[in-house]
Amino acid sequence: MSRSVNSNIVVIGCGISGVAAAHRLVKSGFNHVRILEATERSGGRIKTGRLGDNVIEIGANWIHGPSEENPVFCLARQYNLLDPEALTPENQAVDIGGHPPWVSNVFSSSGRRLNIEDVYPAQEMFFELLSEISEFPSKLGEPQASVGDFIRAEVQQRAAEKWSDSDATSRRLRLCVISNLLKVECCVNGSSTMDDVGLGAFGLYKTLPGLDCTFPGGYEGLVENLMSELPGGLVSYNKPVCCVHWNDTEKSESSVLIECNDGEKIAADHVVITVPLGYLKKHHSTLFQPPLPLHKMHTIQRMGFGTNNKIFVEFDSPWWDPDCEVIYFVWDDEDALVDQVPDLHRSWIKKLFGFTVVKPTERFGHLLCGWIAGRESEYMETLSEQEVTQAMTQLVRSFTGNPAITPKRILRSQWFHDPWTCGSYSFLGKGCSDQDLDNMREPLPPKASQSQPLQVLFAGEATHHCYFSTVHGALLSGWREADRLISHYTSISPSKLQSKSKL
Ligand code: 6YU
């Protein structure tokens, strides 16, 4: 039997990237692959839950860009997990550039519905700016400039030029709408404020064509289908890893020794790390022995990883239009272009940009999903469910001007306080460049050879060069690292992988 198929490969983390890496390795003939997962379940940030009889997503929600180039879409289609509408060529052809053209209802904190004409000029300016920023070549802009700084400066200038004919009240309201859109963008990016998001690197994130779609039976169906094709017992659950001893070739035959919280030490030829960037930020200094090279450590610190949480709220009857897909809450006092609140304790709820309507209504009833990012979201996680319900009730009542509206029940996510995730997803922070994305995925040692074999490989959403923060980015990163190992063996001994072609 060849050395490759007998190599011991340990994958740390059973999210979609870990599952994808293991799947590809097993299908390529590697017989000794195992996954060590800290929790009692597979899926990581793909997490389907229940609210009453309804299937809801606590983590990943949509397939972003469901079209031929998106492997999540292709697998979901292959496993029969999608509604027929998502499969239509028309759906796949729509190019939304990351911002679905949803039908919106807009409410203001004065308790009135805003007309689309009131908000459209602000939306138009905001999306124009985002699309300009996305076109910036990655080296352009001051090294420390942020998307927030740029938008604020440009809006002030363009508003003075373009909106000079409008009255002061309309101009003020439009600036408040831009504050709301900055909060939306914090959720999209998973950042606390757009002042943390790097300007020059913003365009490195790429979108795919296709109108975002969901999994009617739950996103976890994707993980379950992939897992069902793996040998039973491949995953060890409740098995957190506390230290990866690498560069240990002098002491043991295997190149890596993996130490688990329960004291077990597992020897491996290769380890694929798929833990979230949030976890790495917090624990990298103890997770690797010897420590990571300095440039990798600096990248982990520079890259952004923030919190975006959902608050599902169910109502007996709708207070939004039947065709409404998204509800925005615009605060009348936020014309200073703000995306953070001054006092977490008193006003955390102001960070919630609004809701998406969970559809179809026949399946979900009158269910909304509120979105809140940043420190305010992290603070929300510390409150009791009763306190969150109270805040949501007050908020909806004051924005609709209807004091009788009462939520039936709520359910919120708490990604920041999940000890194995420490937040929601990655973004490129100030001063980040494509070099950081290269550093994130660089294996150890970086230049492997027969005498210096590959030891530690890095997968996970934050390691994808253009689809970071997404499920398809995570999946592709798992395949990428499996391929790295496969070609490692092919290059050091091409004949050794003959078994692969027979599979
Ligand atoms: C997407 C979407 N989506 C909403 C919310 C969240 C995320 N994403 P995992 O964490 O899954 O796995 C790691 C495992 O490691 C895990 O099981 C741990 O328990 C384990 N582990 C940790 N430490 C360990 C240890 N020491 N030992 C052993 N095991 C350990 N993505 O495509 N569509 O709608 C959303 C959303 C609330 C939280 C999302 C979405 C992100 C994905 O969920 C995420 O990327 C992948 O699941 C990660 O998989 P993984 O395997 O890497 O890690 C311009 C510009 C903007 C850029 N952003 C735009 C895109 C916006 C992204 N949108 C997200 C939106 C939502 C709503």
Model confidence band, residue 246 (pLDDT cutoffs 50, 70, 90): very high
Is 256 among the domain residues? yes
| Position 1 pLDDT exceeds 70 | no
Shared domain check, 477 and 385: no
Is 338 among the domain residues? yes
Among protein residues, the one with the nearest Cα to ligand 1's atom 45 is 470
Token pair belonging to 69: 């180039």
Shared domain check, 186 and 318: yes
Instruction: Give the pLDDT of residue 245.
Output: 97
The CATH number that applies at residue 386 is 3.90.660
| Position 168 pLDDT exceeds 80 | yes
Is 148 among the domain residues? yes
Is 66 among the domain residues? no
Shared domain check, 318 and 193: yes
Model confidence band, residue 95 (pLDDT cutoffs 50, 70, 90): confident
Report the residue among 24, 35, 45 best suited for mutation to probe ligand 1: largest number of ligand atoms under 8 A from its CB: 45
Residues facing residue 107 across a β-bridge: 113, 329
Counting from 1 in the atom list of ligand 1, the atom nearest the Cα of 19 is: 51
Shared domain check, 401 and 455: no
Q: State the total domains in the chain.
A: 2
| Position 257 pLDDT exceeds 50 | yes
**Average of per-residue pLDDT across 97-101:** 77
As a whole number of angstroms, the distance between CA 135 and CA 448 comes to 36
Counting from 1 in the atom list of ligand 1, the atom nearest the Cα of 462 is: 52
Shared domain check, 189 and 107: yes
Counting from 1 in the atom list of ligand 1, the atom nearest the Cα of 17 is: 51
Instruction: Give the pLDDT of residue 141.
Output: 47
Report the separation in Å between the CA atom of 45 and the middle of ligand 1, taken as the mean of its atom positions.
4
Shared domain check, 313 and 373: yes
Choose one of 385, 412, 439: the last residue of a domain: 412
Q: Does the CB atom of residue 184 touch ligand 1 within 6 A?
A: no
The CATH number that applies at residue 281 is 3.50.50.60
Shared domain check, 224 and 295: yes
Choose one of 412, 440, 457: the last residue of a domain: 412
Give me the phi and psi of 294, to 5 degrees please: -55, -40
| Position 331 pLDDT exceeds 70 | yes
Is 1 among the domain residues? no
Token pair belonging to 51: 């609210």
As a whole number of angstroms, the distance between CA 74 and CA 78 comes to 6
Shared domain check, 202 and 105: yes
Shared domain check, 320 and 191: yes
Q: Does the CB atom of residue 441 touch ligand 1 within 6 A?
A: no
As a whole number of angstroms, the distance between CA 503 and CA 488 comes to 18
Is 444 among the domain residues? yes
Shared domain check, 239 and 193: no
Among protein residues, the one with the nearest Cα to ligand 1's atom 56 is 189
Cis peptide before 445 (omega within 30 of 0): yes
Q: Please give the residue range of the domain that contains residue 23.
A: 8-45+217-303+430-501
Choose one of 356, 385, 412: the last residue of a domain: 412
As a whole number of angstroms, the distance between CA 374 and CA 379 comes to 9
| Position 129 pLDDT exceeds 90 | yes
Is 290 among the domain residues? yes
Shared domain check, 202 and 332: yes
Shared domain check, 226 and 325: no
